[in-house]
Each structure stands twice: as structure tokens, then as C-alpha cells.
């Protein structure tokens, strides 16, 4: 946890950064640690536009992962601007950057592929005028051309589609419950830790940046495979969860429900101090208070999971995420206490809309850290002690579809 002195420095650095005084801001940060070398994070540039014309190409039928271009060490990178970060801040940034620290629950050795499923798990690449991303797509064996639902799964930092599929076991449940699953992949060329860039202003908007790429990819998959456009859902872990919320805020016409696991609200960070402050659970300019993020709201139904011992993304962020989805819920909520056999206890809070339908669920997992609840140790950042976030998210998702559909 960042101490009070460092927090004050961050607050002042944030103020100076917003005033355009980058060198003055850096001087304050450097006052807390010796100076060290740094390098800019490679960044993908985007051209804005209002269309989703693009191509979708299947690469092969086996699990593949493209080799990224060489980059500097992520520990040497400071994403916003040209200023460099001292060694202590690089270490802090590596811990907090986009929501992933060292695994708190996962075994140090794990397989990065799940048990084979009867369906097909193919690799492809989506390209549009905005940008390109690889992806993996699971199609269940029961698919015969019918309009199935689609779940978009956004991995966390350091992860990839195969690892995320293995840890969440979403493909196994998709096989059982008949839906397709799309796993967009963030390359090291876009972020050296493979984090979705939830903390960058250019990646927090409709028709631009990573939200436009993911939305365009989603629409292309729906069209190509004849899927049900009224039953499209998005979920993610950590940095992926933050991007999932961004998609719910910017594309409510595309996604019928959202799953946010160990994530952050939309629009609360546009700089390093903002990101660190929001993730540590601070208030005011660092914690995503009224200065940032408060103006965003979405009527997309949401299911939110967060461990109450998460030391990477402070548990208070779950309430802040929930606040951005509160526009359609009624006053009052139903609260249920439960416990997984030989596992974690949890508190489930369910909010309903004016029609009495479940609009938002908050799962607070007692004793859990920064890991996918109920996940498999075959993947990273998982906590098998449950409850099963994958199962509960699918249950919640299938209760919802786009209005008028």
C-alpha cells in the first residue's frame, strides 16, 4: 500500500500533469526515489472513424500465438507522456499497472491450455482501419448454424486467450450451455505487459482505440457465424474487466450484459498517478472521485465479482463499478450470505430494476485475492475455492438480451 507521503506526492503530480507541467510533476515523483533510466511503452496509434468495415481471417485450427516484436522491458516503461520514472516507481507501476500483480492464489507452475473440448477452438485475426488484433474463438460442437449467444472474454495482464480460457473454463460451460466464446488478444506491441489499455484516454471512447477494435471484431464474428446479436455479452478480469466496463459504457447497443471481475470503473484513470490511485482505493483526484469517472453511467445489466483481500485492485472499486450501473435499479437490494463447501464465504447483493428483474449482482468473496473466483489451476490468476464466477456470469447473462429483441 502506498504511504501517505507518497500519496500526497501523487496528488500534487496529478495536478501538475493536468496543468501541462510534466517536468515539475516528474521532479516531485523523483523526490521519492533515485533517478533511473526509462523508455516509452510502444503504443498503437489509431485513426478515428465511424464505420466498422474490417476483415476477419482464420489463421489455423490449432492454438497459436504470434511472436511480438521486440520491446523494452515493461519495468522500464512509463506509459503517459515522455517523462521517465524512478526505480521505485517502476516497481510500483509493475505491481499496479492495469490490474495484475503476481498471482495471489495460482500455483507458480501451471499449464496454459485447458482440457480439450468437443467443439472447435480456432485462431484468427481481425483488421479494420482502427487497428488489428488476434483472437481465439470457441464454437461448441452443438453449433449447426443456429443463432447462438456470444460471450466476449477479455484476459488480464500477462495472460493470453489460451491461458484465460483454461483458467475460467468458459469453453467447457459454453459446450454445455451452447454459446460461442470470443477471446481477443492484446499483443506486447500494444502494451508490453499485454494489458488492455483501460487507463488511456484514447482507449476509453466509442469509435476509437481498443473499444472500437473489440466492438468491430465482435460484430464481424456475429455476422460471419450468424450469431444472435441480441444476446452478446462481455466479461473480463482485472485490466480486462476495466475494458469490459468501458465497452458497456461506450457500446450499450452491442452488449446485453457485462461481467466485471476484480476490475475498475470506466474513465477514472488517464495517467500513472490516476491509475495507481484508483487501484489502491484512494479518493479525490487519485481515486476516481468526482474529478474523473463520475459522469459515466450505463443501463447495461452487470454482474460484479471482487475478493475482499485483493491487494492489487482495492475491493472498494467494486462499489465504484456498481455505481456506474445504478441508473436503472430500484432502491433497496436483496442480500444473501453463502459459503462454498471447503471454500470461501461470500456476500451476494442483488439489485432489481423497475420491472422487478435482476439488473445487477455484486459478489464479494471473503478471503479471496486478485484471482478468478472458482477458476481452474490450469490457468493463471485463479482461485478454485469459488464460488464459480464463470457459471454465475453465464446464468446472469442468459437472463438478459437487448431491449426490443
pLDDT tens digits along 281-300? 864 433 334 445 556 778 99
Domains identified in the chain, total number: 1
Q: Which pLDDT value is given to residue 43?
A: 34
| Beta strands 150-154; 232-237: pairing state | parallel
As given in the structure block, the three cell numbers for residue 115 are 482440457
Q: Which pLDDT value is given to residue 111?
A: 40
Over residues 73-100, the mean pLDDT reads 41
* Residue 213 CB partners (closer than 8 Å, separation 6+): 126, 128, 130, 131, 132, 133, 184
The answer as to whether 13 is a domain residue is no
Q: Which pLDDT value is given to residue 356?
A: 83
The answer as to whether 403 is a domain residue is no
pLDDT reading at 364 higher than 90: yes
Q: Which pLDDT value is given to residue 281?
A: 81
pLDDT digits (tens, 9 = 90+) for 122-162: 999 999 999 999 999 999 999 999 999 999 999 999 999 99
Q: Which pLDDT value is given to residue 131?
A: 96
Q: 3-class DSSP state for residue 285?
A: helix
- Measured distance CA(351)–CA(222) in Å, rounded: 30
pLDDT reading at 10 higher than 80: no
Q: Which pLDDT value is given to residue 139?
A: 98
Residues 341, 346, 352: CA angle, nearest 5 degrees: 125
pLDDT digits (tens, 9 = 90+) for 185-228: 999 999 989 999 999 999 999 989 999 999 999 999 999 999 99
When mean pLDDT is compared over 74-88, 273-287, 293-307, 309-323, the highest value belongs to 309-323
The answer as to whether 311 is a domain residue is yes
The answer as to whether 165 is a domain residue is yes
Helix then strand count (H, E) for the chain reads 11, 13
- Measured distance CA(175)–CA(169) in Å, rounded: 10
Tell me which of 58 and 359 has the higher pLDDT: 359
Q: Which pLDDT value is given to residue 280?
A: 84
Whether 183 contacts 137, CB under 8 Å: yes
Q: 456470444: which residue's cell?
A: 150
pLDDT reading at 248 higher than 90: yes
Tell me which of 61 and 304 has the higher pLDDT: 304
Q: Which pLDDT value is given to residue 56?
A: 44
The CATH number of residue 81's host domain is 3.40.50.1820
Among 237, 243, 247, which Cα is nearest to 269's?
243
The answer as to whether 259 is a domain residue is yes
The answer as to whether 113 is a domain residue is no
pLDDT reading at 100 higher than 70: no
- Measured distance CA(51)–CA(400) in Å, rounded: 27
Over residues 318-322, the mean pLDDT reads 93
Tell me which of 16 and 92 has the higher pLDDT: 16
pLDDT band for 76, please (50, 70, 90 cuts): very low
pLDDT reading at 96 higher than 90: no
Q: Which pLDDT value is given to residue 288?
A: 38
Q: Which pLDDT value is given to residue 67?
A: 36
What's the mean per-residue pLDDT of the chain? 78
Q: Which pLDDT value is given to residue 276?
A: 78
The answer as to whether 54 is a domain residue is no
Helical residues (DSSP H) of 150-271, grouped into ranges:
161-168, 170-177, 209-225, 239-250
CA 385 vs CA 56, 344, 368, 394: distances in Å: 38, 6, 8, 19
Over residues 303-321, the mean pLDDT reads 96
Domain that holds residue 125: 68-104+120-397
pLDDT > 70: percent of the chain = 66
Q: Which pLDDT value is given to residue 273?
A: 74
The answer as to whether 333 is a domain residue is yes
Tell me which of 98 and 72 has the higher pLDDT: 98
pLDDT band for 70, please (50, 70, 90 cuts): very low
pLDDT band for 278, please (50, 70, 90 cuts): confident
Amino acid at each position: 500500500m502506498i504511504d501517505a507521503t507518497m500519496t500526497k506526492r501523487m496528488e500534487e503530480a496529478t495536478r501538475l500533469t493536468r496543468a501541462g507541467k510534466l517536468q515539475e510533476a516528474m521532479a516531485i515523483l523523483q523526490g521519492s526515489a533515485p533517478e533511473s533510466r526509462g523508455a516509452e511503452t510502444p503504443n498503437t496509434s489509431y485513426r478515428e472513424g465511424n464505420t466498422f468495415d474490417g476483415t476477419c481471417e482464420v489463421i489455423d485450427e490449432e492454438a497459436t500465438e504470434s511472436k511480438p516484436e521486440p520491446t523494452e522491458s515493461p519495468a522500464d516503461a512509463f506509459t503517459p507522456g515522455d517523462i521517465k520514472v524512478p526505480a521505485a516507481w517502476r516497481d510500483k507501476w509493475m505491481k499496479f499497472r492495469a490490474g495484475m500483480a503476481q498471482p495471489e492464489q495460482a500455483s507458480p507452475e501451471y499449464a496454459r491450455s485447458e482440457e480439450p473440448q468437443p467443439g472447435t477452438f480456432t485462431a484468427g485475426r481481425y483488421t479494420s482501419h482502427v487497428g488489428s488484433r488476434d483472437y481465439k474463438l470457441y464454437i461448441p460442437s452443438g453449433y449447426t448454424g443456429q443463432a447462438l449467444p456470444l460471450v466476449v472474454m477479455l484476459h488480464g495482464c500477462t495472460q493470453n486467450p489460451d491461458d484465460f480460457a483454461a483458467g475460467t473454463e468458459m469453453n467447457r460451460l459454453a459446450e454445455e450451455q451452447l454459446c460461442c466464446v470470443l477471446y481477443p488478444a492484446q499483443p506486447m506491441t500494444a502494451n508490453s505487459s499485454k494489458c488492455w489499455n483501460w487507463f488511456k484516454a484514447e482507449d476509453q471512447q466509442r469509435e476509437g482505440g481498443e473499444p472500437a477494435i473489440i466492438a468491430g471484431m465482435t460484430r464481424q464474428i456475429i455476422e460471419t457465424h450468424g450469431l444472435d446479436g441480441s444476446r452478446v455479452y462481455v466479461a473480463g478480469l482485472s485490466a480486462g474487466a476495466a475494458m469490459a466496463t468501458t465497452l458497456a459504457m461506450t457500446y450499450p447497443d452491442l452488449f446485453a450484459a457485462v461481467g466485471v471481475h476484480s476490475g475498475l470503473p470506466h474513465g477514472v484513470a488517464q495517467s500513472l498517478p490516476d491509475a495507481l490511485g484508483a487501484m489502491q482505493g484512494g479518493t479525490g483526484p487519485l481515486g476516481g472521485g468526482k474529478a474523473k469517472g463520475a459522469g459515466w453511467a450505463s443501463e447495461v445489466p452487470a454482474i460484479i465479482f471482487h475478493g475482499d483481500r485483493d491487494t492489487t485492485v482495492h475491493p472498494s472499486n467494486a462499489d465504484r463499478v456498481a455505481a456506474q450501473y445504478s441508473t436503472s435499479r430500484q432502491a433497496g437490494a436483496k442480500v444473501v450470505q453463502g459459503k462454498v463447501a471447503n471454500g470461501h464465504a461470500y456476500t451476494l447483493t442483488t439489485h432489481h430494476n423497475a420491472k422487478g428483474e435482476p439488473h445487477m449482482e455484486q459478489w464479494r468473496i471473503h478471503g479471496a485475492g486478485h484471482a478468478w473466483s472458482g477458476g481452474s489451476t490450469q490457468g493463471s490468476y485463479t482461485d478454485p475455492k469459488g464460488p464459480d464466477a464463470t457459471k454465475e456470469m453465464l446464468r446472469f447473462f442468459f437472463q438478459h438480451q437487448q431491449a426490443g429483441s
